[in-house]
Structure 1
């Protein structure tokens, strides 16, 4: 009886070892496949600043944004209109990216293609500012920048709001 028990334990260990080996081999194959695949999945998610840099869209820090604000640069709020109505950077114009086709025709008369424009949304986790910047660049706007910290960082710094 003791002999059979040891035999089963050996078989169980081999099965666990095989499972581990198969798992390791599968992971290695996946990594190699991902490396050569055109639509590879990144192992590390790029930061927002890196993402904007890849798309050739300059991103701004809070300090840089405040300096531009003091110079009178145009600010566009990419958040939903309801969020803009609650509170926004003082003097900013609302251009919700989710309703771009509706708002842009009214807005384009106020925006020169050569003007410096800063786009912002809720904060670093929000992607609306990137999408709005891409829309404007596609329409030949030349000086688009994105404030990464967005409304959350601006409000936290207690800078002008309305």
Structure 2
């Protein structure tokens, strides 16, 4: 048992060391990547042939393009914040994320958002939606959230 542990530990040290010195080594910490762009990026992301394995962060331009195409927006903030103002037509995230299936299918794209900046509510909701329990295939997170949407002068309720 002790020898097996030593072999595994030494192997792990060599593996991590090799990964660090490689030019194209794998990152050990996930990076926050926001997809930027206009219509062509939106077209690619919404294509049914596009396979997404985790929520995709999108910028304001893509969020607006999705909005104009009728993609469902889900506000991940609490009920009080939602009632104070939200993206026009957006739905408040229900306590049970599966209830979103009343408004759309798991195959349709969905955009989640919250207060932008350091707010993690939209990412947490997105991860939950794409998890095994709900199986949503295309979930996007609008990184700028409601503040950026309002600053751009886009529709709010």
Taking structure 1 as the reference length, the TM-score comes to 0.62
Equivalence for 1:49: 33
Matched-pair contact (CA < 8 Å) for 2:54–2:130: no
Instruction: State the Cα RMSD in Å.
Output: 2.4
Tell me the equivalent position of 2:116: 123
Task: Report how far residue 48 of structure 1 moved.
Answer: 3.9
Aligned twin of 1:13: none
Query: How much does 1:110 deviate?
Result: 1.4
Instruction: Tell me whether 1:114 sits opposite 2:112 in the alignment.
Output: no
Distance 1:105 1:143 in 2: 15
- The runs of 5 or more residues in structure 1 that have no matched partner are 1-34, 37-44
- Equivalent residue for 2:154, pick from 152, 155, 159: 159
Tell which structure's C-alpha radius of gyration is larger: 1
Q: CA deviation at 1:56?
A: 2.9
TM-score after normalising by structure 2: 0.64
Which structure's residues are more often helix, by fraction?
1
Q: How many matched pairs?
A: 113
1:149 has 2:144 as partner: yes
Q: 2:75 aligns with which of 77, 98, 109?
A: 77
Unaligned runs of 5+ in 2: 1-15, 18-28, 35-52
Q: Is the Cα–Cα contact under 8 Å of residues 48 and 124 in structure 1 kept in the other structure?
A: no
State the shift of 1:107 in Å.
3.4
SS at structure 2 position matched to 1:75: strand
Q: Retained in 2: the 8 A contact 1:78–1:95?
A: yes
- Give 1:111 shift: 2.3
Query: Closer, same or farther in 2 for the Cα pair 1:47/1:87, shift >3 Å?
Result: farther
